[in-house]
Amino acid sequence: MATSLPPAHRNRFSLPVEPGRRAATLSLLMVAGTGVALLVAGAVGTFLQLVVFDLEEQESIGHAGAWGYVAGFFLLALMILPALAGVILGIRARHLGARGRGTAGVAVNALVVVYLVIPAVAFILFG
C-alpha cells in the first residue's frame, strides 16, 4: 500500500485567494515598490545631475534649464507611480469587499504620494 505524501508547497508564500484581499495585499506591497523606485530615481537623478547636465553636487537639476525641469518631473513620476498604483489597488480592494485593508492601502499610499510630491516639486522649482 502506498503512503500518501504531503502536497508540494511550491506556492508557499502565495497571495490570498479572495480578489479583495489580493488587491489589498498588492496595494500594501506597493509601498515597498515605491521604496525601490526611490532608489532607482535617486541613482538616475544623480547620474543626470553629475554626468549628463554637468552640474555641481549642490545644484538642483532645475539649474540645467528646460531639459532639467523635464528630467525632474519624469523622475518625480517614476517615484510616485508605484504609490499611485497602490492607491488604485486599495480602491479596488474596497470595492471588492476588503474594506479595512483597502482603506489602509489607500491611506498609506496617499501619504507616501503627498510626502514625495510636495518636497520634490518645491526642490525642482525653487532649488
Task: Count the Cβ atoms, other than its own, within 10 Å of residue 21.
Answer: 17
Domain residues for 47? 19-126
Q: Which three cell numbers stand for residue 89?
A: 489597488
pLDDT of the chain, 127 residues: tens digit per residue = 566 655 555 556 665 578 899 999 999 999 999 999 999 999 999 999 989 999 888 888 888 889 988 998 999 999 999 999 999 999 999 999 999 999 999 999 999 999 999 998 888 778 6
Q: Does residue 55 fall inside a structural domain?
A: yes
Q: Does residue 47 fall inside a structural domain?
A: yes
Q: Does residue 49 fall inside a structural domain?
A: yes
Q: Does residue 101 fall inside a structural domain?
A: yes
Q: Which three cell numbers stand for residue 116?
A: 514625495
Tell me the C-alpha distance between 68 and 90, whole Å: 33
Q: Does residue 34 fall inside a structural domain?
A: yes
Q: What is the pLDDT of residue 120?
A: 84
* pTM, two decimal places: 0.79
Q: What is the pLDDT of residue 47?
A: 93
Q: What is the pLDDT of residue 42?
A: 92
Q: What is the pLDDT of residue 114?
A: 95
Give the dihedral sign, CA 57/71/52/116. positive
Q: Does residue 109 fall inside a structural domain?
A: yes
Tell me the C-alpha distance between 30 and 105, whole Å: 9
Q: Does residue 84 fall inside a structural domain?
A: yes
Q: Which three cell numbers stand for residue 106?
A: 489607500
Contact 46, 124 (CB under 8 A): no
Q: How many domains does the chain have?
A: 1
